[in-house]
Amino acid sequence: MIEEVKMKSFISSIAVLLSLSSPQCSAFTTSHVSRAFVPGPVASTNVKNFKVCDSAVGSYHTSLFSATAEETETTSSVEDAQKIRNIAVIAHVDHGKTTLVDALIRQSGVFRDEQQIDEAGERVMDSEDQERERGITILAKNLAVMRNGVKINIMDTPGHADFGGEVERVLNMCDGVLLVVDSVEGPKPQTRFVLDKALKKGMKALVVVNKIDRPAARPDYVVDKVFDLFVELDASDEQTDFTVVYASGLQGKAGMEPDTLKDDMGDLFDAVMESIDPPVIESVADDDLQCLVSNIDFDAFKGKMGVARITKGTLKKGQAVALAHPDKAKKTGRISSLFTFDNLGQKEVERAQAGEIVMFAGMEDVEIGDTLITNENGGANAADPLPPIAVEQPTVRMTIGVNKSPLAGREGKFLTSRMIRDRLFKELDRNVALQVEETDSADRYMVSGRGQLHLTVLIETMRREGFELEVGPPTVIYKENEETGEVEEPWESVEVRVPEEYVGGVVDLFNGRKAELQDMGLEQSGGDTAMSVVKYLVPTRGMLGLRSNMLTATRGTAIIDSVFDSYRPRIKGEIQGRDKGSLLAFADGVVTSFGCEGAQDRGKLFCSPGDDVYKGMIIGINQRPGDLEVNVCKTKALTNMRSATKGITVGIQGAIEMTLDSCVEYLAADELLEVTPSKFRMAKNPDMKTKKSKKN
């Protein structure tokens, strides 16, 4: 009897659930009870007028199973996310980020044996030619290593201020950062810039005091300075309570104390897994897919590919997706290939879930800043796009156009304005801090960037690809303050470390460029040697052309670090530029040794015998202010008379070798630079000469 009462109560509960889950079942009668439904002896009980709706049973069971499956899938995804760490390695230039990352790669089993390690060489991550030549990282790169079952996605970032845009976009894919600081120098201007960006995103930082093997290392001082920097940047209590690891990236050693380093990077790996939080998973449902594109790559077979971190949802191969942007129309398509990062390469997968960093193909119109969302059922249940990537605005611009000099077209493969235009706008796909604008001239474009180096790297890349270009002098970008209506210009914070005997020359150079002194002092750099540290606020237009002059004044001993500070009211008047004029070619022709003999008395030459020159081309530096035309193409007259000075020989001084960076720094407002695959030639701007003659 008790069992029968319990069964009746159970059947009544099921009936209520079925009525709630399926409005199609409105009548329930107890005329029949299925033996399959009622177990045991109760199956024969005479329960009258009971009728079960099959559709309701199916609906109820389906919803019950789907809810259970979804809960199980979410739990599994959270467990998978616990085995992922997404970190960016950030630091000031030359503090050893890339060398440290290389040490992590070598100790993660990426290379099969010592032979592969030797073949890879040093600084594996700096794979571009310019990166190896300049000794700096230019492009941010992704890789992934496995450690004790945990996948660590590592992003190596540039340290130079001009490439800060690379750091800003990469931080969107990370959950924490490795802040690398030199054990002698401590935090520098770019350290402050990149750390500020990370802290504002709420990230935790793991501090790595690198180059601890240097004789002049002072770890306690450096850690104190890093702590002060965290406090100055208004870090939270949790962020300020950072873990410190001491390392030597070059030797591949790390430890928790500066004087007890282990023979491997094990302590650094452990600190990453303990100090950096795993990704936070809000949802893995297909409709909740949100994936912010932070980088673009190109493949000869798969075409344009996007690199992104999945914030929410699940991404599958063959899935119908859309690229959404708050300010642009939605672009639809399907994922043709899906990859995750594996060591130094990629591994193709069928699906990836929230927390993972992926590379996908199939969307040819993908752009940095787009959000990948689902387009199943026409995107009816799709999530909203994420806020696009915000980067600092450019401060310096240059004109790049068609080479129109008399020697144009001899070497380059790409010469026309259409080719140059297509290449510049293609660069915008990957270079988020760059801006390209049309000008009044059909064969010239205005290119804006974060600094002079940012633009010269682009020009050098195009030169190596076979372009011939005509480049104008760098100028700063002014803007009008919306509140005050004043015209403002960019200022930079500059720190110069120089031997004490050259401080006077450094101060003179800054004073001539209307800089404001912020701090000056002595810094012990090891042994008995002391370096003077001078900090200035300088208008960006005062920094143009300053580096070469300062290196000359300090005999190459100055170490100059600068980073954008702010926009301030424009200083009236012109800032002192070059104090010497140029030597100009008098006529078209070929440089002769006889012509060089006479011209070298007037100044230092850029040309050598046998070089082609044309009228108005800059062939040297004049000893005095103002320009001077000299004839370097003249030949010695042939006569029957024996010269009285025949036995006297005059030596020809070697020409100054000008790189792209030194040429751009040398340019005055009325001069142009001609860039070809093998030559750099400077000349007076014929348009400026025409304007002057019209005024006169």
**Residue 394 resides in a domain:** no
**Tokens (6 digits) for 653:** 């001084």
Q: How does residue 689 score in pLDDT terms, banded at 50, 70 and 90? A: low
Calpha distance 277→176 (Å, rounded): 7
d(CA 407, CA 420) in angstroms, rounded, equals 18
Residue 263 lies in a domain: yes
pLDDT at 57 over 90: no
Residue 521 lies in a domain: yes
Residue of 20, 61, 71, 19 lying closest to 37 (CA atoms): 61
Which tops the pLDDT comparison, 128 or 107?
107
* 221 and 91 in a common domain: yes
Q: Which residue has the tokens 């049309």?
A: 438
- State the Cα–Cα distance between residues 532 and 523, nearest whole angstrom: 6
pLDDT beyond 90 at 418: yes
Integer angstrom CA distances of residue 596 from 586, 655, 666: 13, 10, 21
The residues facing 348 across adjacent strands are: 339
CA atoms within 13 A on the CB side of 130: 18
Tell me the residue range of the domain where 591 lies.
Answer: 582-639+648-667
Q: How far, in Å, are 14, 35, 57, 66 from residue 54 at the CA level?
A: 13, 15, 5, 18
| Average pLDDT for 340-349 | 84
Regarding whether 369 and 326 lie in a shared domain, the answer is yes
Exposed, middle or buried: residue 504 (CB in 10 Å: 0-12, 13-18, 19+)?
exposed
- Rounded CA separation 537/508 (Å): 14
Question: Which has the closest alpha carbon to 87: 389, 341, 387?
Answer: 341
Query: How much is the pLDDT for 461?
Result: 92
493 is a domain residue: yes
> Are 105 and 39 found together in one domain?
no
Max Cα–Cα distance, the chain, nearest Å: 144
pLDDT of residue 597: 84
Give ∠ CA 283-288-289 in degrees, rounded to 5.
Answer: 100
The least confident of 326-340, 477-491, 514-528, 537-551 is 514-528
Closest alpha carbon to 591 in 615, 605, 607: 607
Query: The domain spanning residue 345 has which CATH number?
Result: 2.40.30.10
| C-alpha span between 21 and 57 (Å, rounded) | 9
The Cα–Cα gap between 596 and 600 comes to 6
Whether 405 and 470 have beta carbons less than 8 Å apart is answered as yes
**Cα–Cα distance for residue pair 387/174, rounded to 1 Å:** 16
Tokens, residue 285: 């449902």
Which residues fall within 8 angstroms of residue 572, CB to CB, at 6 or more apart? Answer: none
Same domain flag for 170 and 264: yes
DSSP sequence for 331-360: EEEE--EEEEEEBTEEEE-SEEETT-EEEE
Q: Which strand (E) or helix (H) includes residue 628? A: strand 628-630
565 and 596 assigned to the same domain: no
Rounded to a whole number of angstroms, the distance between the first and last alpha carbons of the chain is: 120
466/464 Cα distance (integer angstroms): 5
Residue 355 is predicted with a pLDDT of 86
Tokens of 258: 């500066």
Provide the CA 8 distance to its chain's centre, in angstroms. 69
* 243 and 312 part of one domain: no
The reply to whether 597 and 564 lie within a common domain is no
E-assigned strand segments in 272-326: 290-299, 303-312, 314-316, 320-325
- Token reading at 607: 């040309």
Q: Return the SS3 of 370.
A: coil
Residue at 407 is within a domain: no
> Which two tokens mark 609?
């015998």
Q: Note whether 682 and 663 are within 8 A (CB).
A: yes
Task: Verify that 149 and 216 share a domain, yes or no.
Answer: yes
**Domain final position from 350, 379, 408:** 379
* Angstrom distance (rounded) from CA 316 to CA 530: 59
pLDDT per residue over 268-295, tens digit each? Answer: 888 988 888 888 888 888 888 888 888 8
Buried (b) or exposed (e) across 323-348, using 16+ Cβ within 10 A?
bbbeeeeebebebebbbbbbebebee
605 belongs to a structural domain:
yes
Q: What stretches of 55-211 adopt beta strand conformation (E)?
A: 84-91, 141-147, 150-156, 176-182, 204-210
Residue recorded with tokens 């496995």? 146
Q: What is the pLDDT of residues 427-445, one digit of tens each?
A: 888 888 889 999 888 889 9
In whole angstroms, give the CA distance from residue 268 to residue 258: 13
Q: How many domains does the chain have?
A: 5
What is the tens place of the pLDDT at every residue in 589-616? 998 888 888 888 888 888 888 889 999 8
Measured N-to-C along each axis, helices 2-21 and 54-81 cross at an angle, to the nearest 10 degrees, of 80
Q: Is 332 in contact with 405 (CB distance < 8 Å)?
A: no
CB 90 within 8 A of CB 155: no
The two three-digit tokens of residue 177, written as one number: 């950062």
Give percent helix, percent strand, percent coil of the chain, each to the nearest 5.
30, 30, 40
Say what percent of the chain tops pLDDT 70. 82
Give the CA distances from residue 672 to residues 257, 398, 408, in Å, rounded to whole numbers and listed in that order.
Answer: 55, 11, 14
| Same-domain check for residues 141 and 245 | yes
Residue 536: which pLDDT band, with cuts at 50, 70 and 90? very high
pLDDT of residue 642: 61
Residue 589 forms part of a structural domain: yes
524 and 592 housed in the same domain: no
Query: Domain with 494 in it: what CATH number?
Result: 3.30.70.240
- Do 166 and 30 have their domain in common? no
Q: Do 223 and 270 lie in a common domain?
A: yes
For residue 253, the tally of other CB atoms under 10 A from its CB is: 20
Question: In this structure, what CATH number is given to the domain that contains residue 264?
Answer: 3.40.50.300
Distance of CA 40 to the CA centre of its chain: 71
Query: Out of 12-16, 253-257, 503-507, 603-607, which region has the weakest mean confidence (pLDDT)?
Result: 12-16
pLDDT band at 650 (very low <50, low <70, confident <90, very high): low
Query: Residue 675 — very low, low, confident or very high, per pLDDT cuts 50/70/90?
Result: very high
- Candidates 319, 291, 335, 329; CA nearest to 377 is 319
Asked whether the predicted pLDDT for residue 657 surpasses 80, the reply is yes
Backbone φ and ψ for 51, nearest 5 degrees, come out as -135, 125
Position 121 in a domain: yes
Q: Which of 359, 379, 399 is the last residue of a domain?
A: 379
Lowest mean pLDDT among 216-220, 312-316, 529-533, 567-571: 529-533
Could you tell me the CATH number of the domain that includes residue 632?
A: 2.40.50.250
685/405 Cα distance (integer angstroms): 10
Could you tell me where the DSSP H helices lie in 160-306?
164-170, 189-200, 219-232, 237-240, 266-275
Model confidence at 31, pLDDT cuts 50, 70, 90, reads very low
DSSP 487-520: EEEEEEEEEEEEEGGGHHHHHHHHHTTT-EEEEE
> How large a percentage of the chain has pLDDT more than 90?
14
Last residue of a domain, one of 66, 97, 112: 66
Question: Could you tell me which residues are beta bridge partners of residue 294?
Answer: none
